[in-house]
Chain A
């Protein structure tokens, strides 16, 4: 299982990572493997304002639909348009090509430190795997 050392995490398996003056947001390798083959990704529109912990999209496999929650508050400045035709990118490359949205954070200083570190997230996943 891959964990990106430069990202911060939520217990609901989303990640956020700085890059190019914005923040990329996606779902983790563990999330994509639990969902299995992703067939559809529903994303917000550019310009939408989202709050931390707010649901901003849905990822669907054949038999399941998972709500996606935002690790940070901010304005959506880009969405990953490739996912419309290639939702499988979320499976193949959850931290790189399979990113979901980019946002310009509005409360980064308050919010960033409330997110899980890579090590803390690893523990969350291990605990979850043990319970199954």
Chain B
């Protein structure tokens, strides 16, 4: 079951929605500057609606079922957030309007900053970064500038654990710094002895994800932060996995200096098929003056006692990371979510995320090899291979899950576990849906031995079957080719 391209539905001369008539005298068009052809599709409004509705039905989504992609925190996206973000007063505010005319928007941004500070223990927050990786760039540039501002110009190394997301080393390079990789120990923690051999006066800092990408809490986190601080370096916290800790531990309390938060993970805003995200960054006191800006700031009160907000850029700011102030529409959703949960609700998020992950692990651990046997946090990593079913790989298991109508876990990440299946159920799944997922995983393990070809050929009943990505990469076709 596939859908034609919108271009293939096009009929010359067909019009979609109609713009209004011109109500002013026309000006003369500059003939030499005009294009002679605009090869966009020509379809009607109903063609458009049906095409995109049919496309939507080819997607899997949280609204359809469990989506336990490790490291992605695919929790339920509350619908009240959507109502909030579409309120005309938010949707219709121009970013360059006089601040006096956007006090509602600035109030919301200010109080979201305050809430994120409260939840994480940091002294300052910028809402500007557009995504997690964008927040990482913000954080690393802040660390770099902190050292330079103190006249400490020889630092050029960022330490990155081998279990880290690829964005950590990529961000380091973008910032003009060098990566030194730190191995993990047999418990899945950063190897402290290996770390000790690398701490020196060239270290800008370390980027650490906690819980790490194995879903395990870094048990020596305070020793790590002390070691790094001891050599004058800073500690960057990758907030990808904050869902395990929200309300349970403030990252700043264990010595993290700077950290990004993924509002599209921890704070429930929809992933949108790959964006928009939002990656605010929190920093400890000594880094506040380097934050990108402008930042929503409380500047006084009206005669009637109402607070007055404005936008201010910190004095030694690394500069702006994008146009305007951030993904405001995403900020409205996250603010709504935090306001509806409060202290106890947020703690309940982490507690049930961790409960769900450990429960699902308890259901499958006898069948799926577990490389690091510990209480996990919000996610766990097992291996997608069986001694009694040689030739079966994590990929086969992932694809077979699709046949059962659920979404596969993240596979082949983290890189330090071969055949990794990384499962993050999130707190919004019930015991019933976890049980159903466990049953499917166990059934697939049995199939792997009895009918391996079922797995190798999976998925069998999806809109398309396994695609030939090799040919697609060798001869890339990246756009519709017009027949002129």
Taking Cβ atoms with an 8 Å cutoff, the residues of A that contact B are 37, 39-40, 60-63, 87-88, 132
Does B470 reach chain A (CB closer than 8 Å)?
Answer: yes
Does B474 reach chain A (CB closer than 8 Å)?
Answer: yes
Which one of B412, B418, B473 contacts A40 once the chains associate, using CB atoms below 8 Å?
B473
Chain B residues within 8 Å of A61, by CB: 470
| Distance from A42 Cβ to chain B, minimum over Cβ atoms (Å) | 14
Chain B residues within 8 Å of A88, by CB: 474
| Distance from B421 Cβ to chain A, minimum over Cβ atoms (Å) | 16
Closest 8 CB pairs of A and B: A39-B473, A37-B470, A39-B474, A62-B469, A62-B473, A62-B470, A39-B470, A87-B474
Chain B residues within 8 Å of A62, by CB: 469-470, 473
| Distance from B393 Cβ to chain A, minimum over Cβ atoms (Å) | 12
| Distance from A128 Cβ to chain B, minimum over Cβ atoms (Å) | 14
CA distance A87 to B474 in the complex (A): 8
Chain A residues within 8 Å of B412, by CB: 63
CA distance A88 to B474 in the complex (A): 9
Residues 444-478 of B, flagged 1 when their CB comes within 8 A of A and 0 if not, give 00000000000000000000000001100110000
| Distance from B431 Cβ to chain A, minimum over Cβ atoms (Å) | 35
CA distance A111 to B470 in the complex (A): 37
Chain B residues within 8 Å of A39, by CB: 470, 473-474
Chain A residues within 8 Å of B474, by CB: 39-40, 87-88
Q: Which residue of B lies closest to A62 (CB)?
A: B469
Q: Which residue of A lies closest to B395 (CB)?
A: A63
| Distance from A44 Cβ to chain B, minimum over Cβ atoms (Å) | 21
Q: Which residue of A lies closest to B474 (CB)?
A: A39
| Distance from B419 Cβ to chain A, minimum over Cβ atoms (Å) | 11
Chain B residues within 8 Å of A63, by CB: 412
| Majority secondary structure, B binding face | helix
| Distance from B476 Cβ to chain A, minimum over Cβ atoms (Å) | 9
Chain A residues within 8 Å of B470, by CB: 37, 39, 61-62
| Distance from A41 Cβ to chain B, minimum over Cβ atoms (Å) | 11
Q: Apart from A63-B412, A132-B418, what 6 extra A-B contacts exist at CB < 8 Å?
A: A37-B470, A39-B470, A39-B474, A62-B469, A62-B470, A88-B474
| 13 residue pairs from A and B, CB less than 8 Å apart | A39-B470, A39-B473, A40-B473, A40-B474, A60-B473, A61-B470, A62-B469, A62-B470, A62-B473, A63-B412, A87-B474, A88-B474, A132-B418
Chain A residues within 8 Å of B469, by CB: 62
CA distance A132 to B469 in the complex (A): 26
CA distance A65 to B418 in the complex (A): 17
CA distance A55 to B160 in the complex (A): 23
Chain B residues within 8 Å of A37, by CB: 470
CA distance A62 to B473 in the complex (A): 7
| Distance from A57 Cβ to chain B, minimum over Cβ atoms (Å) | 17
| Distance from B375 Cβ to chain A, minimum over Cβ atoms (Å) | 29
| Distance from A61 Cβ to chain B, minimum over Cβ atoms (Å) | 8
Most chain A CB within 10 A, of B412, B418, B469, B470, is at B470
CA distance A28 to B473 in the complex (A): 22
CA distance A54 to B431 in the complex (A): 55
CA distance A40 to B472 in the complex (A): 11
CA distance A127 to B473 in the complex (A): 32
Chain B residues within 8 Å of A60, by CB: 473
Q: Which residue of B lies closest to A132 (CB)?
A: B418
| Distance from B371 Cβ to chain A, minimum over Cβ atoms (Å) | 15
| Distance from A59 Cβ to chain B, minimum over Cβ atoms (Å) | 13
| Distance from A4 Cβ to chain B, minimum over Cβ atoms (Å) | 26
Most chain B CB within 10 A, of A39, A61, A88, is at A39
CA distance A61 to B412 in the complex (A): 15
Residues 400-424 of B, flagged 1 when their CB comes within 8 A of A and 0 if not, give 0000000000001000001000000
Chain A residues within 8 Å of B473, by CB: 39-40, 60, 62
| Distance from B221 Cβ to chain A, minimum over Cβ atoms (Å) | 31
| Distance from B248 Cβ to chain A, minimum over Cβ atoms (Å) | 36
CA distance A132 to B470 in the complex (A): 25
CA distance A132 to B474 in the complex (A): 29
| Distance from B31 Cβ to chain A, minimum over Cβ atoms (Å) | 42
Q: Which residue of A lies closest to B469 (CB)?
A: A62
CA distance A63 to B470 in the complex (A): 10
| Distance from A118 Cβ to chain B, minimum over Cβ atoms (Å) | 29
Chain A residues within 8 Å of B418, by CB: 132
CA distance A63 to B415 in the complex (A): 12
| Distance from A48 Cβ to chain B, minimum over Cβ atoms (Å) | 23
Chain B residues within 8 Å of A87, by CB: 474
Most chain A CB within 10 A, of B412, B418, B469, B474, is at B474
| Distance from B472 Cβ to chain A, minimum over Cβ atoms (Å) | 8
CA distance A40 to B475 in the complex (A): 10
Most chain B CB within 10 A, of A37, A40, A61, A87, is at A37
CA distance A37 to B412 in the complex (A): 18
| Distance from B467 Cβ to chain A, minimum over Cβ atoms (Å) | 10
CA distance A107 to B67 in the complex (A): 57
